[in-house]
């Protein structure tokens, strides 16, 4: 009976909202309290795997941020926040995406680095954003806040790290006159905060489900993706290959396997990537993990179907029952069972190599990851959801206001 009443109430609310929109009535009662703001630096949102941003035509038809609930960027601008949504490579590595992000923020030509492009077998230079930067200014005085959803979390973490420490490999391989300012480092104080949203900061066990148990003993991490994949990993690889065909004219562009997002999201590889990423002493860090599963009597975690996109139900159930050992010897134990359909909740907390603490209001310090309370919804929820619409306006207004008040 309660469920029926909830459905009726939801439909009535939807009807009222539709009528209000028809007659131009504004029912938005969410107020922004800016009396405690100390800053209002630009917020740059970075999408996840196979996502899109404001440079892409599809964003006008279907905003990645907000989905069917409307463009979150426009909403936040109306509330007084300066925001922008970056457009980075849908399926490429965190490194490539970070380089593209730098070019968009600075209005320059994308430089993937001499050392990286040669080792990964692709062109050194990419799209030129000269004269069409994503934001008005980017400097020590005009800092930015970064928010990355899903694999966008790895992207913004790596980006912020390179901004501060640069790249020793690129410095060694590149003549001084050719070296991008990005790889020189020393710009960690250009970034005020970093927020990872449902991000696989320590990888995802999705790729491990169904692997041959006889192959689970520790061994050296391979230079490319393991040839033997579990059934779910095979499905994801198939989707990624389809996306590659779409975005590269039908064929892979010749780059090596380790230069794709799918490689970076294996647990072993994510943990190795974490070793290269620093936590800068003057930057604020936040993580918002998600969960749409509940613990069962046998200790496994099952998807809550009312909260989870149907697309994720099978992968969620498999992740919620899987423990094992990775190719590199990492033990995936019971703490990895809770998940949001694609990412393990524990992985979406602090990166393995970083200091962290649970978020406490009024006691936020830079140089340490503040793990926010688990958001009880699936992996798509922080975008706004699809078949399970989720109003994220309040979440972002509160989070951005909190950052502005630091």
pLDDT in tens, 362-387: 999 999 999 999 999 999 999 999 99
- The two tokens of residue 250 are 């039908």
Q: Let me know: does 373 contact 325? Beta carbons within 8 Å.
A: no
Q: Could you tell me whether strands 301-303 and 191-197 are parallel, antiparallel, or unpaired per DSSP bridges?
A: unpaired
Rounded-to-integer distance, Cα 43 and Cα 33, Å: 18
Residue pLDDT, tens place only, 192-205: 999 999 999 999 99
Rounded to 5°, the CA angle 69-390-49 comes to: 85
Rounded-to-integer distance, Cα 276 and Cα 363, Å: 28
Element (H, E) at 5: helix 2-22
Rounded-to-integer distance, Cα 216 and Cα 326, Å: 6
State in words which class domain 35-204+257-299+344-404 has: alpha beta
Rounded-to-integer distance, Cα 37 and Cα 119, Å: 45
Those residues with Cβ within 8 angstroms of residue 31's Cβ, 6 or more apart along the chain or in another chain: none
Query: Distance from CA of residue 35 to its chain's centroid?
Result: 30
Residue ranges covered by each domain of the chain: 1-30, 35-204+257-299+344-404
Rounded to 5°, the CA angle 35-41-47 comes to: 120
Mean pLDDT of the chain: 87
pTM: 0.85
Residue pLDDT, tens place only, 277-295: 999 999 999 999 999 999 9
Whether the pLDDT of residue 395 is over 60: the answer is yes
Rounded-to-integer distance, Cα 314 and Cα 304, Å: 11
Q: Could you tell me whether strands 324-325 and 301-303 are parallel, antiparallel, or unpaired per DSSP bridges?
A: unpaired
- Least trusted range by pLDDT, from 64-78, 102-116, 227-241, 281-295: 227-241
């Amino acid at each position: 009976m309660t469920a029926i009443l909830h459905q009726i109430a939801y439909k009535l609310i939807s009807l009222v909202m539709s009528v209000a929109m028809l007659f131009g009535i504004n029912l938005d009662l969410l107020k922004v309290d800016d009396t405690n703001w100390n800053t209002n630096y630009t917020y740059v949102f970075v999408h996840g795997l196979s996502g899109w941003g404001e440079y892409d035509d599809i964003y006008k038809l279907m905003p990645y941020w907000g989905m069917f609930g409307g463009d979150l960027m426009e909403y936040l601008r109306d509330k007084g926040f300066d925001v922008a949504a970056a457009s980075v490579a849908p399926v490429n590595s965190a490194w490539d995406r970070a380089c593209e992000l730098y070019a968009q923020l600075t209005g320059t030509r994308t430089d993937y680095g001499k050392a990286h492009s040669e080792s990964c077998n692709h062109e050194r230079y990419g799209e030129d954003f000269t004269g069409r930067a994503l934001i008005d200014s980017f400097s020590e005085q005009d800092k930015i806040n970064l928010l990355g959803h899903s694999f966008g979390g790895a992207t913004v973490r790596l980006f912020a790290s390179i901004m501060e420490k640069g790249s020793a490999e690129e410095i060694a391989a590149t003549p001084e006159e050719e070296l991008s300012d990005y790889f020189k480092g020393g710009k960690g104080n250009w970034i005020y905060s970093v927020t990872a949203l449902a991000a696989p900061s320590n990888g995802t066990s999705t790729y491990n489900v169904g692997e041959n148990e006889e192959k689970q003993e520790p061994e050296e991490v391979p230079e490319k993706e393991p040839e033997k994949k579990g059934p779910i990993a095979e499905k994801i690889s198939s989707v990624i290959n389809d996306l590659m065909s779409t975005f590269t004219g039908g064929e892979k562009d010749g780059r090596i396997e380790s230069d794709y997002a799918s490689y970076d999201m294996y647990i072993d590889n994510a943990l190795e990537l974490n070793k290269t990423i620093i936590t800068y002493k003057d930057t604020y860090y936040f993580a918002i993990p998600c969960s749409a599963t509940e613990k069962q009597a046998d200790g496994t975690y099952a998807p809550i179907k009312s909260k989870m996109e149907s697309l994720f139900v099978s992968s969620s159930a498999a992740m919620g029952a899987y423990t094992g050992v990775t190719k590199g010897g990492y033990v995936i134990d019971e703490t990895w069972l809770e998940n949001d359909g694609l990412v393990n909740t524990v992985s979406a907390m602090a990166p393995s190599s970083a200091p962290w603490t649970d978020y406490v209001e009024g006691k936020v310090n830079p140089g340490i990851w503040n793990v926010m309370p688990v958001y009880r919804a699936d992996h798509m929820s922080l975008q706004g959801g699809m078949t399970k619409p989720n109003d994220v306006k309040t979440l972002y207004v509160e989070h951005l206001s909190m950052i502005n008040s630091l």
